Each structure stands twice: as structure tokens, then as C-alpha cells.
Structure 1
Amino acid sequence: MNNNKQIKAEKVSEIKEKIQKAKSLVLVTYQGINVEQDTELRKTLRNSNVEYRVYKNTMVTRAAQELGIEGLDKYLEGPVSVAFGYEDETTAAKLIAEFAKTAKKLEIKGGYVDGTVYDAELMNQLAKIPSKEVLIAKFLGSIKSPLSNLVYMLNAVAESKEA
């Protein structure tokens, strides 16, 4: 009995460590997907540095409570898997939402990002946000365009004064 408690405590500690390390946490209902779909999902997530695990709900609830995370337990009912996104806040949600389009039984239940617990609707909205690289490229493009126009105009003025 004492050994069982020690194993559970180690598991809770492992989950806490993963939550603290992750930039996002996505809770997923996976019941109803077949083995091939599950294998494909795990491979896709692994390639993007997202860890996808199935833990007992009580272990995840206990880890969240010990970390002071309120409200996550209401999404931990029934068969739930957890995706830990380590790269950025949107990757895990984005990949799961994309995969859910082909595997209709797979759905996001909720998640935890940057100290806040989100429901499925907000996690799906988060999944639609472009990646950090795309946002930076758009920002730089919007800065570059007016500057290019200014340089072009100044060049035209300089050429007209020379003529």
C-alpha cells in the first residue's frame, strides 16, 4: 500500500513538472479514434515537440491543484489525454484541431495557457492564431511597405531635382 502511494506521488510530480515546463496544455477526448489515427496523431505531435500522454484524471487534477491551477478539473471527466506544448502556446492546440478535422471523434475539451484555464471554444480559437513566425513576418512586412514607399518617393524627388 505504501509503495502504491509512492508511485502515485511520483506520477503527480512528473505531471507537475511537465505542466511547469509546457507553454500550453490541451485536454483532449480521444475515445473513438482507432489505433492508426492515434499513431498518426502521436507522430505528428512528437515531430512538433508536443508530448501527448494519457494519465489518470485524478493524477492530473492533483498535480493542477498542487500548482494552484483552478478550474482544470471540470475538463478532466471521462477518457482524457493531455498534450503538452513545449515550443509555443498555439502549436499543440493547432495540431490537435487540425487532426480533429479528419478524426471526428477527437475533440478538444479545454486547456491551460499562460496561467489561464480555457474552455474548448477558446482553445479552438487559439488554434486559429497564426504561428509566431508568421505573425513576425506579417509585422515586418507591414513595416517594410511604408518605408519602401518613402524611399521610393525620396529617390524620385532627388532624381527630379537633379534633372
Structure 2
Amino acid sequence: SSAAVLTEYRGLDVASTAELRRALTNAGGEYKVYKNTLVRIAARDLGLELDDLLTGPTAIAFVTGDAVSVAKALQDFAKTNPALVVKGGLLGEQVIDEAGVKALADLEPREVLLAKLAGLMAAPMQQMANLLEALPRNFAYGLKALIDQGGAPGAPADAPAAAEDEAPAADAEAEAPAPEAEADAPAEDTPAEAPAAAADTDTDQAEESADTEKES
């Protein structure tokens, strides 16, 4: 047994004692009556000092399950049966007084404490699981948003650069006809020079005709 509660049962009748035994059995305890001398000898053999608790008739509630549940059962029974007096007890190797037993009874049962402990341990694990689950989900949402926007935020900034690259090409095309115009210019000048050459030829022919007439 990991714990035991020493009580004084003086004044309890047989029916009340039987009721107490049933309550303790249901709570995970076992209720037995011992002579103080035997309890004192056994305690000393274990290195425990229980003399202050061994006054009056003594019955011990040994804990076979949850110490809190047994302490609660004793405390609840004592509320309706004042003849039952809780004197103190053992918790592990520590001797506790009546106040210690009451404090033990005020605790929540072992099952409740374990459930709360499991909840405290599970909460961070659940948060971590939610975080790990949210990472790919948030990434997918972000990727979809970027696709809907037409790409990453830096992508639109590159568009003007592409437009600038296209601008010189447009300018080159606009300037392309200029050489053709320059090439046509000499063609227009050639006919203008042709009459001048023809005029010189006519002058020479006129001079030759004049000379011929003089010789005649």
C-alpha cells in the first residue's frame, strides 16, 4: 500500500462500520481494525514514529487504489457520522496529520488529474500538429494568390523593361525608310544635270555651224 489513513472508530455501530467498509472498498481502500501495540511495533520496525496517532481505538484504511479517493470517502463519511475521527496517516514514507489528510481529500481524484495532465501534454502537440498542417496549406494559398495576381510582386516591375526593349526596335523600324529617301535623292538630281549637259552639246554644235559658215 502506498498510503494509509489512521482513524478512531469509537462510537460506530456495526451497520455504520459495514457502510464505511463498502464506501472505502468502492474508493479503492481496505478498512481494518488493529491493536495499537501491534501498529506501534510494526511502525518502529519500518523506522516510522506513529505514537501521536495511536490514541484510542484505531482502525486503518489502507489504500489499494487512489489515495485521494480514499481520503475523500473518509471525509464524506465523517460528515454524516461524527463518531468517525480521522487522526492522520502515511503518504509514502511521510507521516501526515489530520490536516494533511484533509488536504489530500481536497485534491481532485487521480483520474481527473491524469486527464488534465494528458490535456496539458496534448495541447502543445496539437498546436504543433496544427502548425505543421498549416504550413503547406498556407503555402498553397499563397501560391494560388500569386498566380491569380499574375505572378510574384516583382514581376510587373519587369514589364516596363520589356517595353523599353521593344521601343528601340520600333524606332529602328521608323528610321528604316530614311536611307531609301536618301537613295532616291541622287536619282532626282541626275535629270537636273542632264539638261545642262544637253545645253553644252547644243552650244558646241552652234559654234561648229558658225565656223562652217565662215569658211564657206
What's the TM-score once normalised by structure 1's chain length?
A: 0.75
- Residue 130 (str. 1) matches residue 108 (str. 2): yes
Aligned residues: 141
For residues 36-77 of structure 1, what are the alpha-carbon distances to aligned partners after superposition, in whole Å with 9 as ceiling and x for unaligned? Answer: 32211111222344221111111211221122212x111111
Secondary structure of 2:82's counterpart equals coil
What's the TM-score once normalised by structure 2's chain length?
A: 0.58
- Structure 1 residue 153: Cα displacement: 4.0
Q: Distance in 2 between matches of 1:62 and 1:155?
A: 63
Q: Distance in 2 between matches of 1:159 and 1:84?
A: 56
- Residue 50 (str. 1) matches residue 3 (str. 2): no
Hey, which bits of structure 1, 4+ residues long, moved more than 6 A?
Answer: none
**Matched residue type, 2:14:** V
Unmatched runs of 5 consecutive residues or more in structure 1: 1-21
Secondary structure of 2:62's counterpart equals strand
- Residue 146 (str. 1) matches residue 118 (str. 2): no
Unmatched runs of 5 consecutive residues or more in structure 2: 142-216
CA RMSD of aligned residues (A): 2.0
Q: Distance in 2 between matches of 1:66 and 1:59?
A: 11
Aligned to 2:43: 64
Distance 1:47 1:121, change over 3 A: same
Distance 1:155 1:115, change over 3 A: same
Q: 2:98 aligns with which of 88, 96, 120?
A: 120
Aligned to 1:35: 14
Q: Distance in 1 between matches of 2:133 and 2:47?
A: 60
For residues 62-102 of structure 1, what are the alpha-carbon distances to aligned partners after superposition, in whole Å with 9 as ceiling and x for unaligned? Answer: 221122212x1111111221111122443432321122222
Structure showing greater relative contact order (alpha-carbon pairs closer than 8 Å, 6 or more residues apart): 1
Distance 1:149 1:92, change over 3 A: same
Q: Distance in 1 between matches of 2:135 and 2:83?
A: 63
Aligned to 2:85: 107
